[in-house]
Structure 1
Amino acid sequence: MAVVAEYVPGKDGKGIHDAEKDANTTAARDESTTRLAHNWTSTRKIFAASTIIYMNFNTTLGSSLPSGAGNALNDAFGVTSEKQKPLPVVVFLIGYIIGPVFAPLSESYGRRPIFLVSFAVYTAFTLGCALAPNWPAFLFFRFLQGCGAAAPQTVSNGLFSDIYPDLKQRGRAVTVLGLTSNVGPLIGPIISGFSSSKNWKWQFWIALAMTAVNWLMLLFLQETYSPVLHARETGFQENEKKASFKDILLVLLRPIRITAEPLVFFTDLFILYQYIIFFLYFGLYPLVFQDTYKMTSGVSALMFLGTGVGGVVAIFIFLAWERYHTRAEQQGRAWALREEYRRLPLACLGGPLFAISEFWLGWSARPDIHWIVPALSGIPLGIGIDLTFMALNNYLTDAYGIYSASATASSVITRNTFASIIIPLSTYPLYNNLGAAWACTLLGGLCCLMTPIPFVFLRWGTVMRARSPFCRQLNEGG
């Protein structure tokens, strides 16, 4: 099989294994080739982006789906251990750790085959979950479902980079993707809470129906990755090369190598913390609202809607900032001409809002305070997490270009590795030992420690990008 091969940055910033550099320079020589996906009509681009955004919504919804029908699921399989109850979500997240191999492969074989294969795996094991005969089989199918769900999280930014050369259009696509990444897990418990409180299988039949609609779109999706399109046009004559074991290994290890770069590492750290808290809430919210306010599982799942509302508000904040930044850029203001100010101020706002939501929930969830008060804490939570995801994911996509899929994959690997360890060990002990007030205070305090990260990027991000071998390679390749 021909492969658009791997570039590995050396200590001097030059390629040790430079086939991918050759692909870049070859593409640069042929302007029409590098812009094949860029030259698509607006309708074609919107269709491609919508297909992948809807796929991301489906797969992220699947991540939290069982949490709304936990009682029915546990009763059906005879699960009584508190440590095992979070496992349907946890093993899905472990699958996310394996799934990011899709990202570097998309930078060698193209985006479309990766989306097709990964979503086929997700669909097949969604069906497997519905037909699982016992608890171990169910957990194994959830793990494989998570493996198939990872591609939209890791490859989508690369596709947006392919079709949208304009940073404003690309930023909006990444923003909507980020919204579905956070709204999808909120909708999952609501669907299962109302549909599967008695028969736990209904949640997966509904998920399968949603994937069927997605397949109708996905089958018409065309390839977007320019080096692969160029290789196809030339019959692989310039890029013809058998993929050796070393080539494949270098491609698969790229997300790990890129994590060593400070921009990626500290972005991963900030997103990691918010991501863990986000998924902890799928265990914490039912405990808070069912125990404190005696709500049913379906009604308690509706408390997640506040976070969804916050996500929508975050979109309007993003667009308002975009307009303000564009005007400042047109007026030639010095600060607006720095790349860091295009996205990062949103993360500077998102971090403190996320911390505020922790303290708000913890100290208002009491029987003598109406349930709407702690429920409204979801709004700053949604604004905070969405602004942070939008800003940092857009920043990485802009900075790393065609390598953005690997940069995103590094974040997915990091956050899901730690989330799969921390969530089952801390959800119930954290709440039972500390209580809602002090558990949320601890989480909010830790969040405060993370909030300086985007401010540091604002000050020193230009220097970090200048020292990045991957960013330098993109600049040299034009």
Structure 2
Amino acid sequence: MKAPPELFSKEIGDGGDTPQAPASASAAIAIQSTDDVATSLSRTRKLVIAFTLILMNFNVTMGSSLPSGAGISLNAQFGVTSQFQKPLPVAIFLVGYILGPIIFAPLSESWGRRPVFLLSFTLHTLFTLACGLAPSWGAFLFFRFMLGCGAAAPQTVSGGVFCDVYRELGPRGLAVTMLGLTSNVGPLVGPVVAAYSARMGWQCECDSFSICLFQNCKMLVWSQLCVPRSYGTSLSGTGLTSSAHSGPYWCALMLAAVNWPLLLCMPETFAPALNGRAAPAAHWRTIARLITRPIRILSEPLVFFTDLFILYQYIIFFLYFGAYPIIFKGTYGMSDGVSALMFVPTGLGAVLAIAMFVAWDRYYARAAAQERPWALREEYRRLPLACVGGPLFALSEFWLGWTARPSIHWAVPALSGVPLGIGIDLTFLALNNYLTDAYDIYSASALASTVFTRNLLAAILIPLTTAPLYEKLGTRSACTLLGCMCVALTPIPFAFVRWGPALRKRSPFCQELARLRAADKAAVGRADAREQSA
């Protein structure tokens, strides 16, 4: 039984009418089925779903930065000498991230999660192999672009899957937190893996890409067996129970445990979390509205200023993949492999940020249970962590810039990565969780808008600014400039704490979501009453 097309015929923000409550019992069941998933799946099953998404995100984000660690062998293989072209493999991957979110995220909210992840996974698998077999520099860049398109779904659609599966804010927040951790730790692992594997030569990585293809196929079967459909509008009263799609997920856990060590030495492996199947859009106009939804949602103040803050930190984060070799190889004479290890403190900071996030979440839960006045405001669930992360991120900029010189031991500037990792993770996780909670079923589009904007500008700025910024201004002046710009943006989460409720009340998507929930409850009540009377 499929959800009626009229449920999706109106679109928020384009002048359409307010969606009406469904008139039929089948429509009510279609809407209610998201909550059915949350109640029917066991805790272990939900953990398998979350683990699949997190593992997938780690693999694709690790692939985003791999070329920065194997730059010498990669450039030698393709004869690249231009300073402008050297950062292009990373930048062009981010360009693919621009196109992927605006297509995959809204389609996942209409067609369902499963077909979107399957399409994304297929692209990623094929072009992972193609990158290893690229015959020329131009072909390699094109394959990196398509690889970025296929890698876009994890960061954008996963938030929607977590909303489907975890209706409680606590477990959902932890799942989004771990997803955010892999988003930042994955790119840090990439250069280290590439730097040491490049010692064997670039051509030997073709074998790794072939192994990666085999690994991806195994994980495709695993995810098909283990991860059920989750999006409410796609389940449509199919009678989902805890036994539906009850594949051998215990075997999948064992398979994952065996596969995990391989992930640390492979360029990329990609496992889809296939969640959902919905009725295709009936008209091209509806499809156009779906695809443009992330652009329209960007006009809302909550999303716009969140994008602005995350955008700046994201640009700096990827800028460092080109800046760290300049700083540590140029100032301290390190090799490629040793300079790549300077990212380890940033990864340590990211892990510490997770511990801080979990500790705050528990503290907030206790305060809310005790009904303390400050804990009754939704903004205090997530945003205080962003208020801490912003200043720490700015501190790391000044720390690196003012200590990276030959007279100071290399460990001192390297340790600036600890507040960098804490700051960027706290900000990223807090603001992404805040958007996920605020936009719920539209969170995939909200997160897609952040991915779209940050990758668009990062892809443009990274190849144009990395070398000129540090070589012409010097490390101290460049980092001071970046730190001052970060200080100017730190008031954003503080402003959300103060004016967040008012901004949500002005949001068409948030208000329509509240009205739609009320209509859903009324429709389900009428359907139950008719069934009982029958």
- TM bucket, shorter chain: over 0.9
Aligned to 1:156: 158
Distance 1:277 1:99 in 2: 22
Residue 117 of structure 2, aligned match among 108, 115, 118: 115
- Structure 1 contact 158–404 (Cα < 8 Å) conserved: yes
Aligned to 1:347: 386
Aligned to 1:143: 145
Aligned to 1:227: 233
Aligned to 2:38: 38
- Provide the secondary structure at the position in 2 that maps to 1:113: helix
- Provide the secondary structure at the position in 2 that maps to 1:197: helix
Aligned to 2:457: 418
Distance 2:394 2:105 in 1: 31
- Structure 1 contact 27–226 (Cα < 8 Å) conserved: no
CA shift, 1:270, in A, is 0.4
Distance 2:105 2:23 in 1: 18
Alpha-carbon RMSD across the aligned residues, in angstroms, is 2.3
Aligned to 2:410: 371
CA distance 1:119–1:253, change in 2 (3 Å): same
CA shift, 1:450, in A, is 0.7
Aligned to 1:169: 171
CA shift, 1:32, in A, is 5.7
Aligned to 1:65: 66
Distance 2:370 2:221 in 1: 45
Aligned to 2:222: 217
Aligned to 2:516: 477
Distance 2:280 2:67 in 1: 45
- Provide the secondary structure at the position in 1 that maps to 2:38: coil
Give TM-score scaled by structure 2 length: 0.84
**Structure 1 unaligned runs (5+)?**
none
AA matched with 2:89: P
Q: Which has the larger radius of gyration?
A: 2
CA distance 1:269–1:26, change in 2 (3 Å): farther
- Structure 1 contact 126–204 (Cα < 8 Å) conserved: no
- Structure 1 contact 27–33 (Cα < 8 Å) conserved: no
AA matched with 1:91: I
CA deviation profile, 1:39-72 (whole Å, cap 9, x unmatched): 2100111111111111100100000011001011
- Structure 2 contact 30–235 (Cα < 8 Å) conserved: no
CA shift, 1:223, in A, is 1.2
- Structure 1 contact 28–34 (Cα < 8 Å) conserved: no
CA shift, 1:23, in A, is 10
- Provide the secondary structure at the position in 2 that maps to 1:196: helix
- Structure 1 contact 310–381 (Cα < 8 Å) conserved: yes
Distance 1:323 1:36 in 2: 27
CA distance 1:201–1:162, change in 2 (3 Å): farther
Report 1:272-311 matches (<5 A): 272-311=311-350
Residue 191 of structure 2, aligned match among 184, 189, 192: 189
Distance 2:372 2:25 in 1: 34
Question: Number of residues paired by the alignment?
Answer: 471
- Provide the secondary structure at the position in 1 that maps to 2:130: helix
CA distance 1:447–1:170, change in 2 (3 Å): same
Of stretches 264-273 and 221-230 in structure 1, the one that deviates more from structure 2 is: 221-230
CA shift, 1:16, in A, is 2.9
CA shift, 1:477, in A, is 1.8
Distance 1:55 1:214 in 2: 9
Distance 1:363 1:175 in 2: 32
- Structure 1 contact 6–251 (Cα < 8 Å) conserved: no
Aligned to 2:300: 261
Aligned to 1:325: 364
CA shift, 1:241, in A, is 7.3
CA distance 1:46–1:240, change in 2 (3 Å): closer
CA distance 1:150–1:16, change in 2 (3 Å): same
Match status 1:87 vs 2:93: no
CA shift, 1:9, in A, is 2.3
AA matched with 2:180: G
Distance 1:409 1:293 in 2: 40
CA deviation profile, 1:298-356 (whole Å, cap 9, x unmatched): 11111101110000000111111112111211121111000000000000000000000
- Structure 2 contact 128–147 (Cα < 8 Å) conserved: yes
CA deviation profile, 1:79-124 (whole Å, cap 9, x unmatched): 0000000000000000000101100000011111111110111111
- Provide the secondary structure at the position in 2 that maps to 1:35: helix
CA deviation profile, 1:257-299 (whole Å, cap 9, x unmatched): 1001000000000000000000000000111111111111111
**Structure 2 unaligned runs (5+)?**
241-277, 518-534
Distance 2:479 2:283 in 1: 50
Distance 2:79 2:146 in 1: 22
CA distance 1:213–1:281, change in 2 (3 Å): farther
- Provide the secondary structure at the position in 2 that maps to 1:16: coil
Distance 2:498 2:233 in 1: 34
- Structure 1 contact 34–230 (Cα < 8 Å) conserved: no
Distance 1:87 1:25 in 2: 54
- Provide the secondary structure at the position in 2 that maps to 1:253: helix
Match status 1:387 vs 2:392: no
- Structure 2 contact 111–279 (Cα < 8 Å) conserved: no
CA deviation profile, 1:206-225 (whole Å, cap 9, x unmatched): 46536456435323222110
- Structure 1 contact 286–300 (Cα < 8 Å) conserved: yes
- Structure 1 contact 25–477 (Cα < 8 Å) conserved: no
